[in-house]
Amino acid sequence: MLEEIISKKYDLLKPFLDEKSKRLVAAAEALSLGKGNISIVSRATGISPDTIKKGCNELESGTSISDDKIRAPGGGRKKSVDKDPTLLSDLESLVEPTSRGDPESPLLWTCKSLRNLAKELQNMGHKVSHARVADMLRTLGYSLQANKKTIEGTEHPDRNKQFEHINEKCKEFQEEHQPVISVDTKKKELIGNFKNVGRELRPKKDPIPVNVYDFKDKELGKVNPYGVYDITNNEGWVNVGIDHDTASFAVESIRRWWNMMGCKSYPDAQQLLITADCGGSNGSRVRLWKTELQKLTDEIGLEISVCHFPPGTSKWNKIEHRLFSQITLNWRGKPLTSYEVIVNLIAATKNSKGLRVKCMLDTNKYPKGTKIEKKQVEELGIIHDEFHGEWNYTFKPKNMVN
């Protein structure tokens, strides 16, 4: 009966006790019953008699382990790294990032899994399990890491100066209430019942079924969403093309933005500033891009200036993180099964900062391989800036050139 009472009392306290507290509680119980009853307390609590005796001695002498320690110095199982001084350094030499591909590395071109590392350490004479390897790696500050896309190419020496030039140009246009847009082509998207990355709320165990393989549908094909982002008004325009992503398509997208949104937002505009990447359909070396922009300039009567971001800095283009990223968030987890679905999802894109987007399907054909001679570009009369004229240039309507 007594043993049962002690057991119930101990079970109630046990969740709140550490190793030291358990020993002292059991010892206090034994002392209250008399030292001859240590065996009763031991059976009731499961704590060994020797441990209870140690607790009794601590309580009677008034001396115990310091408050911040549970065990006496030297108590407990010795750590592997204490018993094997070279274990940690040998492990670190195996997982050192520079060891992959090193002819002297034991793990030449192999996956550095916990079990592979443990096996290699065992081959070196260490007694260690894969679980212990995991503990040591955490101690060394290692964790599972995926590849990260950060390297965009060789850094141009005038990269920062071009950023400053673009920033000043944008401020100048905005102070004069002239439109400033950021343009680019979003990643091509497959049309059909294909998996779209991301997750959204659905009834439990009821995911949307999609095709196992991402083979292009011959009838539906792909789309090229070309975006125009109005930096000042936080507005986006996306022209969803179903043909080739050419310079003609890029300029047509800007034309549609101006006719549908720009001319209404800037009725008194006389100039337009375009910020764009250095490559792709709107690249700084693309002759068709320049001849098409001259046509647009003559058509809408605006002086159009272009500033290109330096090579390898496409992620700095504002359209990437202010428009395209929001579109991706909005349609995450939704199969892009038709043109209508894509247009509606893009047009429904919003965020807490007031972004609004309009979208249109472009069914025109834009054939590849249009040849533009160098002489044709020279005859356009492009005005190149003094600072990197290949990146910064202006088109004037023909009736203003003379």
Could you report the per-residue pLDDT of 338-347, keeping only the tens digit for each? 999 999 999 9
- pTM exceeds 0.85, yes or no: no
Could you report the per-residue pLDDT of 150-164, keeping only the tens digit for each? 666 666 788 889 999
| pLDDT score recorded for residue 153 | 61
Mean pLDDT of the chain: 86
> In the chain, pLDDT over 90 holds for what percent of residues?
47
Could you report the per-residue pLDDT of 332-386, keeping only the tens digit for each? 888 899 999 999 999 999 988 899 999 999 999 999 999 999 999 999 989 999 9
| pLDDT score recorded for residue 401 | 53
State mean pLDDT over 319-343.
Answer: 92
State mean pLDDT over 282-296.
Answer: 96
Could you report the per-residue pLDDT of 213-271, keeping only the tens digit for each? 777 888 888 999 999 999 999 999 999 999 999 999 999 999 999 999 999 999 999 99
| pLDDT score recorded for residue 102 | 47
* Tokens standing for residue 37: 């009853």
pLDDT at 169 > cutoff 90: yes
* Tokens standing for residue 289: 């891009």
